[in-house]
């Protein structure tokens, strides 16, 4: 701005000098042919300078207007110059280093995903596509499906994860909202090895015995268990606002290139005030098999509800199977928490470990397996107060806190009831249309309704 003013003052001085010069010529040459030629050149110069000053003045006043206006200019990178471009670069650099989510243009994401061509995952609320940004960063673009709760899912994710930063949480790079439409997109860092379920449960049709092609080795399972526990401890305790995930399950845990685990999918999460102890709502959502009993019966969720779900996931990681499943060839349902409690009590914990890891070169180690199962059994205690916090789980897994003997039998009353009801109604539904359960299921997810109906629906089979 100062430089511009100096130039205008300089031009005015030049005009003044030219006028003086013409006067001197007139005095010294008189009204002669030479005087007219030189005076003509001088006047032309004066006119040129005046026009330049007018143009400069007009452009500087329109700049001032633009800087005081409150409307956001349309993005026209090619038209940006000098100062503007530098400011915009600084701004996007700051967003990058602070890790704050950026707003993306729909066209940019359409181009990055090649018109949403490569589907890498689908859950109950969204489809996820692989993409590559202009800068070369690989991304996973989550397109929240158009539904009555799509806005709530979108807001929950941005609110919960937008400000949270932890090495074991998936990183939200940005989002996209198309005005006057229901398109909602979330842009995450791409996580190379996909979700944990594909790495711990044998592939369908793989026979169960030989295992699927992808089987996470024991040491990596133990490390992933700690990673997830650390992420949840951070969300519950160390985050500025406490966050309940409320949908902890293998499908929502991702494995990066080095098989570090990252907690993802915050569509059902709740951000809590520091003084709130639990969330009570008439709408209970979650996934069958992972929901804590207190959440199912409608007495509210707390961070201990995440601890419960974590306990179930931990057992599934050790066992390499779903917590509730039809025993192959027996026509009977088996419930992993019940089996785990029995095996630990009998001192035969290795019998419940994923058979693909037993006897393998770098297979499961008995004392470690016992520790994991005991921690899991504490996490799924029916009485919320008896469950450890996620911070204590981290300490137990990392050996800083002793893991006490497993809880006495008879502690799984609600679980047993739910399981019995679940088994009988599932058997009734077998061969026919399943009862209209409205809870997410690990494989064919749907969403939940009120607490009462929720507990009914969880009891009413698949
Ligand atoms: N950042 C990511 N990188 C790689 N795969 C992902 C990523 N995010 C999600 N996925 C895949 O997409 C699936 C569904 O994503 P998720 O966020 O859980 O959606 P929903 O809310 O519908 O359950 C996941 O189980 C996972 O397989
Ligand atoms: Mg999910």
CA-CA distance, 35 to 380, in Å (whole number)? 105
Catalytic residue among 64, 151, 197, 247: 247
Q: Residue 183 sits in a domain of what CATH number?
A: 3.30.200.20
Check whether residue 425 and residue 460 sit in a common domain: yes
Q: Is residue 394 part of a domain?
A: yes
Q: Which of 119, 126, 130, 142 to mutate to test the pocket of ligand 1 (most atoms within 8 A of CB)?
A: 142
Check whether residue 220 and residue 163 sit in a common domain: no
Cα(119) to centroid of ligand 2, in Å?
Answer: 14
Question: In the chain, what percentage of residues exceed pLDDT 90?
Answer: 43
Q: Is residue 388 part of a domain?
A: yes
Question: Any catalytic annotation for residue 84?
Answer: no
Instruction: State the residue range of the domain holding 117.
Output: 100-190
Check whether residue 459 and residue 317 sit in a common domain: no
Q: Is residue 74 part of a domain?
A: no
- Please give the structure tokens belonging to residue 255: 């494995």
From 104, 149, 110, 142, select the one nearest 126 (Cα to Cα): 142
Q: Is residue 85 part of a domain?
A: no
Q: Is residue 82 part of a domain?
A: no
Q: What is the pTM of this model?
A: 0.74
In this model, does residue 208 exceed pLDDT 80?
no
Check whether residue 350 and residue 435 sit in a common domain: no
Q: What is the pLDDT of residue 14?
A: 85
Q: Last residue of some domain: 167, 190, 213?
A: 190
In this model, does residue 107 exceed pLDDT 90?
yes
The minimum-distance atom of ligand 1 relative to the CA of 139 is: 1
In this model, does residue 160 exceed pLDDT 60?
yes
Write out pLDDT tens, residues 242-287. Answer: 899 999 999 999 999 999 999 999 999 998 877 777 777 767 778 8
Check whether residue 124 and residue 173 sit in a common domain: yes
Structurally, how many domains does the chain consist of? 4
In this model, does residue 350 exceed pLDDT 90?
yes
From 281, 270, 312, select the one nearest 454 (Cα to Cα): 281
Check whether residue 135 and residue 214 sit in a common domain: no
In this model, does residue 369 exceed pLDDT 80?
yes
Q: Is residue 68 part of a domain?
A: no
Residue nearest ligand 1's atom 1 by CA: 190
Check whether residue 109 and residue 203 sit in a common domain: no
Q: Is residue 78 part of a domain?
A: no
Q: Which of 47-56, 66-75, 451-460 has the highest mean pLDDT?
A: 47-56
Q: Residue 373 sits in a domain of what CATH number?
A: 1.10.510.10
Kind plus residue range of the DSSP H or E element containing 399: none
287 vs 88, 326, 378, 395, 462, CA distance in Å? 43, 18, 20, 27, 12
Q: What is the pLDDT of residue 69?
A: 31
Q: Give ligand 1 pocket residues (Cβ under 6 A).
A: 120-126, 128, 140, 142, 170, 188, 190-191, 194-195, 251-252, 254, 264-265, 267
Residue nearest ligand 1's atom 12 by CA: 121
Check whether residue 245 and residue 394 sit in a common domain: yes
99 vs 128, 253, 257, 394, 460, CA distance in Å? 21, 21, 21, 26, 44
Check whether residue 45 and residue 16 sit in a common domain: yes
Please report which confidence band the pLDDT of residue 394 belongs to, taking 50, 70 and 90 as the band edges.
Answer: very high
State the chain's mean pLDDT as an integer. 80
Q: What is the pLDDT of residue 436?
A: 36
Q: Last residue of some domain: 190, 208, 225?
A: 190
CB atoms < 10 A from the CB of 27, how many?
8
């Amino acid at each position: 701005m100062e430089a511009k003013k100096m130039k205008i003052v300089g031009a005015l001085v030049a005009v003044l000098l030219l006028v003086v010069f013409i006067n001197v010529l007139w005095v010294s040459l008189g009204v002669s042919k030479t005087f007219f030629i030189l005076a003509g050149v001088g006047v032309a110069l004066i006119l040129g300078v005046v026009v330049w000053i007018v143009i400069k003045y007009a452009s500087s006043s329109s700049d001032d207007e633009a800087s005081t206006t409150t409307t956001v200019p349309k993005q026209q990178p090619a038209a940006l110059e000098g100062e503007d471009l530098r400011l915009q670069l600084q701004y996007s650099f700051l967003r990058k280093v602070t890790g704050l989510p950026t707003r993306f243009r729909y066209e940019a994401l359409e181009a990055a995903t090649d018109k949403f061509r490569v589907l890498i995952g689908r859950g109950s609320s969204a489809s996820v596509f692989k993409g590559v940004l202009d800068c070369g960063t690989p991304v996973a673009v989550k397109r929240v499906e158009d539904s009555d709760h799509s806005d709530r899912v979108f807001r929950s994710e941005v609110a919960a994860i937008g400000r949270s930063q932890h090495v074991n949480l998936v990183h939200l790079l940005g989002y996209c909202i198309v005005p006057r439409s229901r398109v909602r997109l979330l842009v995450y860092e791409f996580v190379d090895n996909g979700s944990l379920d594909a790495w711990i449960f044998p592939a369908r049709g793989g026979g169960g015995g030989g295992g699927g092609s992808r089987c996470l080795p024991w040491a990596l399972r133990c490390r992933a268990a700690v990673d997830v526990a650390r992420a949840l401890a951070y969300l519950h305790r160390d985050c500025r606002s406490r966050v309940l995930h409320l949908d902890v399950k293998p499908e929502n845990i991702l494995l990066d290139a080095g098989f570090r685990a990252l907690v993802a999918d915050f569509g059902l999460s709740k951000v809590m005030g520091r003084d709130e102890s639990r969330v009570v709502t008439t709408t209970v959502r979650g996934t069958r098999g992972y929901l804590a009993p207190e959440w199912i019966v409608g007495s509210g969720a707390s961070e201990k509800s995440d601890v419960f779900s974590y306990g179930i996931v931990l057992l599934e990681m050790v066992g390499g199977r779903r917590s509730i499943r039809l025993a192959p060839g027996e026509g009977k349902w088996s419930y992993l928490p019940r089996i785990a409690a029995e095996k630990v009590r009998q001192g035969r914990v290795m019998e419940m470990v994923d058979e693909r890891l037993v006897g393998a070169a770098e297979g499961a180690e008995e004392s470690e397996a016992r520790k994991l199962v005991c921690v899991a059994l504490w996490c799924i205690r029916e009485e919320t107060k008896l469950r450890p916090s996620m911070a204590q789980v981290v300490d137990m897994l990392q050996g800083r806190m002793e893991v006490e003997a497993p809880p006495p039998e008879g502690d799984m009353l609600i679980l047993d009831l739910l399981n019995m009801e679940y088994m009988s109604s599932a058997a009734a539904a077998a061969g026919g249309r399943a009862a209209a359960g409205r809870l997410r299921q690990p494989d064919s997810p749907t969403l939940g309704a009120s607490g009462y109906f929720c507990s009914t629906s969880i009891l009413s089979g698949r």
